[in-house]
Amino acid sequence: MIVFDKLWATMRERGISTYTLREKSGIDSKTIRRLRANDNMETKTLNKLCAALQCRLEDIAEYREDDDKERPGS
């Protein structure tokens, strides 16, 4: 699963609030809620976030293996 924990850390490091992020990137509060819940995001939203924060994708998101999925060979 893709998680956005790094997004909040990057925002903290740069002193950017969710309000400022919404203003700079043009995303809405519903999208912010979805990011907090690690819901699916469109690539265009990720692009907007990276542009607004002037960062790379790996600075805002990371892949973590799902714990609830059966692993191959188990």
What is the mean pLDDT of the segment spanning 14-42?
A: 95
Segment 26-47 shows an average pLDDT of 96
> Contact 18/53 with Cβ under 8 angstroms?
no
Number of domains in the chain: 1
Cα 65 to its chain centre, rounded Å, is 16
- pLDDT at site 74: 46
Per-residue pLDDT reduced to its tens digit, 38-73: 999 999 999 999 999 999 999 999 999 987 665 555
C-alpha dihedral over 35, 63, 1, 37, to 10 degrees? -20
| Residue 33: CATH number of its domain | 1.10.260.40
What the block records as the tokens of 50 is: 């990276």
Asked if residue 72 belongs to a domain, the reply is no
* Average pLDDT of the chain to the nearest whole number: 92
User: Phi then psi for 24, rounded to 5 degrees?
Assistant: -75, -35
38 located within any domain: yes
pTM, two decimal places? 0.83
- What's the domain range around 15? 2-63
User: Residue 38 and residue 25: Cα distance in Å, rounded?
Assistant: 18
